[in-house]
Structure 1
Amino acid sequence: MPPNQQQFYGPQMQGPNQQTQQPYFQYSQCNGKKKALCIGINYFGQEAELRGCINDANNIKQFLSRQFGYREDDMVILTDDARDPRQIPTRDNIASLSLTLAAMQWLVRGASPNDSLFFHYSGHGGQTKDLDGDEDDGYDEVIYPVDFQANGHIVDDIMHEIMIKPLPAGCRLTAIFDSCHSGSALDLPYIYSTEGKIKEPNLAAEAGQGLMSAVSSYARGDMGGVFSSVTGLLKTATGSSQKAEQYARATKTSPADCISWSGCKDSQTSADTQEAGRATGAMSYAFISALSQNPQQSYQQLLNSLRDILRSKYSQKPQLSSSHPMDTSILFIA
C-alpha cells in the first residue's frame, strides 16, 4: 500500500527565515470521497465517426462501481447520445473556463487529502503547436469535444490547469485517455518505463528518428514532413528537448497524487475496435480486463499487463505518467 507520510525528493533549498525546504508530494490512501467523470464521444454523423467510445464510458462507470466502490450519484457521464443537454460532451460542458458547472471543474471541486477522483476520456485526440515550451516534441496534446468543429479542441495545458493545479497534497486523480496522441495528454512530467523507471529524453534516438522521418517524408514527396522532421532534428541538436523537460518539471509537478494511463505514445494512434463482439476502445478494454483478471497489481505490473493485452493485436503502447516521482512497486488503488 502507499505510505501515509509526505514523500520528499530533489534538492534542498533555503526558504524564508533560513528554513530548509524540499519538494514533496503525498500519496492518497483513496479512502475519502470518490468522484468520477467519464466522457465517451462517438461523433455521430461526423466525418470521423467512432463506434466504441460511448460503450467505453459506460463500461468504465460500471467497472468503477464494481471494483472500487464508486457510487452512481458521485459519477458524471457525458456521452453524445445523452438526452439531457447538460450531459452532451460539448466543449462548454466538459471544460469551459467561464462556467463553474463544467464537468472537469465539478470533478475537482472540494477535493481533500485521501480523496480519489477518476477521469476517463474516450474519443478523438490530436496535437497542436506548443506555445509555452513545455513539450519536448514541440506539440501540445488535445482532445476533441463533440462540437470541436464549431468551438475548438481542449488543449492539455487547460486540462492540467483545471484538474491538477487545484488539488491538495494527498488527493488522487487517476486519468485514463483512450485517444490518439495521448501519451502526455494531462501534462504530467514524469513518464515511466515498463521497468518502473523514469524515462529521460534519449537525444541520440530522437535525432535518429528525426533523420529517418525526414528521409521517408522526402521519399513520399511530403516536403512539409521533411521540414518538420528537420526542425525536430535541429531542436534535438540544440538540446531544447532537455529544456522542455526541465521546464515541464518546474511548472507541472504537483504535491497531489496525480496519475495518467494513456492508450499510446504522443506519436501514436489508439484503436477503436471490437472485443468480445462489442465496439470498444482498445485501452479501455485493456484496463478493465487487466484489473478484472488481477485486482492486486503494482503500477509497474499494471503497465506491463496493459502492454501485454494490447501487444498481440495493436501497435499502440500504453503510457504511465505522474505529477511527481513515484515508487512504481506500490499497489495501484483508486
Structure 2
Amino acid sequence: MEGGKKRLALLVGCNYPDTKYELHGCINDVVSMRDTLVGRFGFDPSHIELLTDQPGSSVMPTGENIKKALGEMVDKAGAGDVLYFHYSGHGTRFSSMRPGYLFGQDEAIVPCDFNLITDVDFRHLVNRLPKGASFTILSDSCHSGGLIDKEKEQIGPTSVHDPETAKSLPFRPKTIPFHSLLQHLSSLTNINTPDIATHLLALFGSDASLGFRLPLVGDIDFPDLLKPDDGILLSGCQANETSADMNPIMAGGKACGAFSNAVQTVLKENPENLSNREVVMKTREVLKDQGFNNQHPCLYCSDENAAAVFLGPPQSSTT
C-alpha cells in the first residue's frame, strides 16, 4: 500500500443453505476475491473480514452484522484509504414508500435473515466517508444497478446500449421476487399487509434499513447527494435485470456467480492496472461471450472515479 494508507475489505457471501432460495456459488465468490485482494492488490489479510452463511460460521451475514461491519470499516477509514465491499447473494427491488419521496423503485441486498440493506443505507455510508477515502462496492446480485442511492451512472441502461438477445441457460437468478419476499416476511410476522416496511420494522426494529425508518429526511443531507463523491458501485446487472448463479458444470467444476467469475477472468487476463470503467466494460464482454446476453454490469461513480484505477488510490473531486 502507498504512503501507509489502509486498504480495508468486507466480503459477504450468502448461499441460503437448506432454503428454497438456496444458491451455490456465492461463498466461493468471496473466498476467491479474498485471495485476489491479497495477491494482486496488496490487502493485508488482517484487514479483510469475511462473512458467510456456511454452516458453523461464527458470525452470520445477517442484516445487522453486515451493517455493523460496514459501519466499523467506515469508522476506521482515514484520508487516502481504500475501502472495498464485495457482496454475492440475492438482491431484490421494491416500490418505494419512504416519507418525503416520490414513489419509485429501491434496490436492496438480501442478507441471510432477510433484513434488507437498501440503496439508502449505502448512500448513508458513502456520505460518512472521510474526505479523500474511497469506497468501492461490487455487488453480484440481482437488481444491483443503482444500489448506491443518487450515484451518477457511468455505464448503465441510459449510457450504453446493448441489444438483448434472449438465450436460455441453466443457471439460477440471484433474485427473490417481491411477492415471495413479502410472503416469507408475512409468515414470520403474521401481519396481513403488502407494506414491506411494516414487516421489517416489526421483525428488526431499529436494525431495519434507514429506508424504512422514521424520520428519514433528517438522516441524510439531500443537497449533498448531487455532489461528486467517492462512492463507486460495480453492479452485476442493471436494476431491472437478474444476475446468474452458475452451477459447477457451467463454471468448470466450481459453482460461482457469473459476474464475480467474469471480474476474476478480466483481472487474470489483464495484469496491468485497469480503470473502473475498463473493468466493467471488459466484464460485459466476458459475460456476452459466455452467452449471458441479458445481464449487463453497470458502473456508478463520479467522472473522476470512472477513469480511476480499480481499487487504486482515491481520485476525489469533492471540495
Equivalent residue number for residue 117 of structure 2: 154
Equivalent residue number for residue 271 of structure 1: 244
TM-score normalised to the size of structure 2?
A: 0.70
Equivalent residue number for residue 39 of structure 2: 66
Identical-residue share of aligned pairs (%): 33
Equivalent residue number for residue 297 of structure 1: 274
Deviation at 1:82, TM superposition (A): 5.5
Aligned pairs (5 A) from 1:42-121: 42-81=15-54, 83-85=56-58, 87-95=59-67, 102-121=68-87
Structure 1's 301 and 136: CA in aligned 2 closer, same or farther, altered over 3 A?
farther
The residue identity in structure 2 corresponding to 1:141 is E
> Does residue 183 of structure 1 match 2:155?
no
Structure with bigger gyration radius: 1
Aligned pair partner of 2:5 in 32, 37, 44: 32
Deviation at 1:61, TM superposition (A): 0.8
How far apart, CA to CA, are the structure 2 residues paired with 1:160 and 1:301? Answer: 24
Aligned pair partner of 1:171 in 126, 129, 133: 133
Structure 1's 72 and 331: CA in aligned 2 closer, same or farther, altered over 3 A?
closer
Deviation at 1:137, TM superposition (A): 8.3
How far apart, CA to CA, are the structure 1 residues paired with 2:305 and 2:282? Answer: 17
How far apart, CA to CA, are the structure 2 residues paired with 1:310 and 1:201? Answer: 15
Cα displacement string for residues 269-323 of structure 1 (whole angstroms, at most 9, x for unaligned residues):
000004222100011111111112113223332221011000122120000001x
CA contact (8 A) 1:134 1:248 kept: no
TM-score normalised to the size of structure 1?
A: 0.67
Deviation at 1:84, TM superposition (A): 4.3
Equivalent residue number for residue 217 of structure 1: none
Q: How many residues align?
A: 248
How far apart, CA to CA, are the structure 2 residues paired with 1:160 and 1:257? Answer: 11
> Does residue 321 of structure 1 match 2:293?
no
How far apart, CA to CA, are the structure 2 residues paired with 1:252 and 1:30? Answer: 30
Secondary structure at 1:328 match in 2: helix
How far apart, CA to CA, are the structure 2 residues paired with 1:153 and 1:84? Answer: 20
How far apart, CA to CA, are the structure 1 residues paired with 2:159 and 2:245? Answer: 30
Structure 1's 131 and 169: CA in aligned 2 closer, same or farther, altered over 3 A?
farther
Q: Any stretches of 5+ residues in structure 2 without a counterpart? A: 162-219, 313-319
Aligned pair partner of 1:331 in 298, 305, 309: 309
Q: Any stretches of 5+ residues in structure 1 without a counterpart? A: 1-28, 96-101, 203-246
How far apart, CA to CA, are the structure 2 residues paired with 1:287 and 1:135? Answer: 35
